[in-house]
Structure 1
Amino acid sequence: MDILDTLHDAIDTPAFLIGFLALMLPSLFWLIRDLQRRNTHLMPLMKVVWGLTVIYTGPLGLAIYLWSGRKEIATDSLPRRAFRSVAHCCSGCGMGEIVGVVVAAGILSLGSVWVSVITFALAYAAGYALTVGPLVQDGVPLRTAMRDAVVAETASITVMEVTAISVSLWLAAGAGMGDVRFWTALIVSLSCGLLAAYPVNVLLLHFGVKEGMMDPRMTDHDGHDHQGDPATAG
């Protein structure tokens, strides 16, 4: 119980939020400079994915990018592919989660059940759209893209959001948008969701349910957003 109390006390202070911003902003700046100087060849979609991942998780997102998302990686591997895949998932779901928590819990002050339902629905819709949109743009029929996105993304999104929403509700219980704990709980929940969904993505890639994002060393330079098999590119 002491550990839980300590965690609650830690995120309930402005110092936690200030500390996160002090780490996140330099991480984001470094990422943007690296994308501009050394990794301009990456697809526009993945540049957005990495930017959002760093905004949500700070140094954790930057570390994932350094290890798996740059052309400078020595080799590619299943663990690296899984991190690119989970970052892609997190970037979309994170948008939905932030909107859901802010609207349902912060503005409307709804109960935990409604907060969970609304947040999950928005997170799933955002993550789903981030997969379907590029596929349709690449010429995949809408029905096929929707079916493949459901198959490839449902398990990852479910684990990510069940974890993130649970952590957010647990840490921010009773907090409103004017409370530091409301925002720090959201930050912690996004990182927890990403980490929880990582092994799921390892399994999805291992069993061929999804192809994942292309090796950053092999990314095409033709300006298209297509990365990986169009049927499983989440």
Structure 2
Amino acid sequence: MSIVSTIQEFITNPIVMGAWVVLVVASLGTLVWDLRRNNEELGSLMKYVWGFTVLYSGPIGLGVYWYSGRTQISHDSLWRRGFRSVCHCYSGCGAGEITGVVIAVGLLAMGNLWVAAVTFSLAYVFGYAMTMGPLMQEGMEFREAFVDAFYSETASIAVMEIVAISTDIWLAGEATMGEPLFWAALVVSLSVGLIAAYPVNLLLISRGVKEGMMNPAEMS
């Protein structure tokens, strides 16, 4: 049995899939409880960022939030800033990727090349929107906000999506929306993309290309 078949068999096992759903629901419940009870100071945008991150990656996302996103963190660091930054990117890119895959595969029945192109494009649209929205709310002009998003997010989105889309096609390139493998591979690919983009965000922050999200402890 090949490594691909082994992974496919594991991620589509009903027990594994059921356990993952339970973990995601429990993680989301924990996140909502903590945001309301202990971290109301966080901005609305970051609450959405953490919500999407946990929705996509379950306990992995919750662990990242607990380590880097709460006002109760003991101190800030490059590692924590990197996690906040990559999750900010991830929340938009994930939405774009899911939307792109559903449209390209489910509605238009496109081949893998077109699926990759549509998904990649929408990931950029959603990813840039998550960066540009807050800037424009603060009074920045569209052009300036776009340039800022392009400069700070392009590399992170590129790595995240190349890895995520490649993983998804590798695991479920022939699957349809009616097959468990389609959704299981999508979940796996999202988390793999998150992990791949993390060191990119560390590099961008350390070089001053990105500032990273504000230290949540300063909001307490």
Q: Secondary structure at the match of 2:87?
A: helix
What's 1:91 paired with? 91
Note the C-alpha offset of 1:107.
2.5
The one-letter code matched in structure 1 to 2:151 is: V
What letter corresponds to residue 140 of structure 1 in structure 2? M
Q: CA deviation at 1:174?
A: 1.3
For each residue in 1:63-100, what CA deviation from the matched residue of structure 2 results, as whole angstroms up to 9, or x when unmatched?
00000000111110000000000000000000000010
Deviation for aligned residue 1:18 = 1.3
d(CA) in 2 for partners of 1:22, 1:107: 29
In the superposition, the TM-score normalised over structure 2's length comes to 0.97
Q: Distance in 2 between matches of 1:154 and 1:199?
A: 14
Q: Which amino acid aligns with 1:100?
A: G
Q: 1:187 to 1:31 in 2, by over 3 A?
A: same
Task: Give the Cα–Cα distance (whole angstroms) in 2 for the partners of residues 8 and 47 of structure 1.
Answer: 33
What is the rounded CA distance, in whole Å, between the counterparts of 2:13 and 2:173 in structure 1? 15
- Residue 128 of structure 1 contacts residue 149 of structure 1 at CA under 8 Å; is this kept in 2? yes
1:18 aligned residue:
18
- 1:193-214 alpha-carbon deviations (Å, 9 max, x no partner): 0000000000000000011110
Give SS of 1:101's match: helix
State the AA in 2 paired with 1:159.
V
Which structure shows the higher helix fraction? 2
Query: Larger deviation: 195-204 or 168-177?
Result: 168-177
Q: CA deviation at 1:5?
A: 2.4
Q: Which residue of 1 aligns with 2:58?
A: 58
Query: Is 1:216–2:193 an aligned residue pair?
Result: no
Partner of 2:145: 145
Q: Does 1:177 align with 2:177?
A: yes
Match of 1:29 in 2: 29
**Pairing 1:187–2:187 present:** yes
CA distance in 2: counterparts of 1:189 and 1:3, whole angstroms: 16
| Structure 1: gaps spanning 5 or more residues | 221-234
Offset, 1:108: 1.8
Structure 1 residue 142 displacement after superposition? 1.5
Deviation at 1:143, TM superposition (A): 1.1
What is the aligned partner in structure 2 of residue 79 from structure 1? 79
- Report the Cα offset of residue 2 of structure 1: 3.9
Distance in 2 of aligned mates of 1:157 and 1:37:
32
Cα distance in 2, alignment partners of residues 43 and 27 from structure 1 = 20
- Aligned mates of 1:2, 1:177 — CA distance in 2: 23
The residue aligned with 1:106 is: 106
Question: Could you tell me how far apart the structure 2 residues matched to 1:14 and 1:145 are?
Answer: 45
Aligned match of 2:205: 205
Aligned amino acid, residue 166 of structure 1: S
Count of equivalent residues: 220
Q: Is the 8 A contact 2:4 2:171 kept in 1?
A: no
TM-score, reference length from structure 1 = 0.91
Give the Cα separation in 2 of the matches to 1:75 and 1:4: 41
Question: Given that residues 156 and 200 in structure 1 are in contact (C-alpha distance below 8 angstroms), is that contact kept between their aligned partners in structure 2?
Answer: yes
1:117 aligned partner, one-letter code: A
Distance 1:15 1:176 in 2: 21
CA distance in 1, matches of 2:216, 2:48: 14
Contact 2:86 2:198 in 1 (8 A): yes
Range with greater deviation from structure 2 (110-119 or 166-175):
166-175
Distance 1:207 1:184 in 2: 36
* 5+ residue gaps, structure 2: none
